[in-house]
Amino acid sequence: MPAHTITTTEALREIYAPAIERARLKSMPALDGHCRRFIEKSPFLCLSTQGPSGADVTPRGDHPGFIYVLSDTTIAIPDWPGNNRLDNLTNILANPRVGLLFLIPGVDESLRLNGSAVITIDPEIVDHWEANGKRPASALIVTIEEVFLHCAKALIRSRLWHDDYKIDRAELPTYGRMLKDQIDVATTVEDIEKAIAESYTNKLY
């Protein structure tokens, strides 16, 4: 273990000031109008899960409003095609606890939601989404335990919605080149990139 490692809550609290009152009080057990509006405007979220092999986080995105709000305490998230590793879905089968972080481009505040999830193939849920004649293979139904708005400090520091730290894509190798360097396959970089481009064009939904 590295030197000066914090191992107790008491030691951790010694190096931080107490939480301000509004930070303690803002946690809610259900969506209010502001949270609903935030979710309706969000085209992107990060989903975190915890399974037998450890923690994981995955991005989920679509048009604003792609999250289906079933009630003040329940939302549904479509599982559109991805890489079919199913890391988060298999984690949820072992441990239903999930954390969500919603972002809206141009808004520095974010929305945090914690709860428990189940995987459903119920047509009444899955048929809520349709794109190019296709529907998601499954959806997550998340029961909310805690939801609250998160302040803008991290996004202000990162200037996420500004051009300051935007780079020319050419500064990094292509996705196909990086994958080829990381995995031992006979496929050429050109074939990998062709397959990726085809999936982006024809398998987005």
Residues 144 and 178 in one domain: no
Which residue is associated with the tokens 């029961």? 143
β partners of residue 75 = 69, 142
Residues 182 and 84 in one domain: no
- pLDDT tens readout for residues 151-166: 999 999 999 999 999 9
What pLDDT does 136 receive?
97
Residues 191 and 101 in one domain: no
What pLDDT does 184 receive?
84
Q: Is the pLDDT of residue 19 over 90?
A: no
In a domain, 119, yes or no: yes
Q: Which domain holds residue 187?
A: 169-202
- pLDDT tens readout for residues 42-53: 999 999 999 998
Residues 99 and 185 in one domain: no
Distance CA 117, CA 95 (A): 9
In a domain, 59, yes or no: yes
In a domain, 183, yes or no: yes
Which region, left, alpha or beta, applies to residue 185 given φ > 0 means left and ψ of -120 to 50 means alpha? beta
In a domain, 5, yes or no: no
In a domain, 83, yes or no: yes
Whole-prediction pTM: 0.94
Once rounded to an integer, what is the mean pLDDT over residues 117-130? Answer: 97
Residues 40 and 114 in one domain: yes
What pLDDT does 195 receive?
94
Can you give the CATH number for the domain in which 50 is found?
A: 2.30.110.10
CA dihedral 50, 51, 56, 59 (to 10 degrees): -80
Domains of the chain: total: 2
Confidence of residue 62 (pLDDT cuts 50, 70, 90): very high
Structure tokens at 193: 């990139």
In a domain, 12, yes or no: no
Q: Is the pLDDT of residue 24 over 90?
A: no
- pLDDT tens readout for residues 72-116: 999 999 999 999 999 999 999 999 999 999 999 999 999 999 999
Residues 178 and 91 in one domain: no
Nearest of 58, 198, 31, 4 to residue 112 by alpha carbon: 31
What pLDDT does 2 receive?
85
Query: Within the chain, where are the H helices?
Result: 9-14, 21-25, 33-41, 87-94, 123-126, 153-158, 175-182, 189-202
Residues 40 and 134 in one domain: yes
Which residue is associated with the tokens 């259900």? 30
In a domain, 163, yes or no: no
With 0-12 CB in 10 A as exposed, 13-18 as middle and 19+ as buried, what is 25? exposed
Residues 174 and 154 in one domain: no
Residues 127 and 178 in one domain: no
In a domain, 94, yes or no: yes
What percent of the chain is helix, strand and coil (3-state, nearest 5)? 30, 30, 40
CB of 106 closer than 8 Å to CB of 161: yes
Residues 126 and 184 in one domain: no
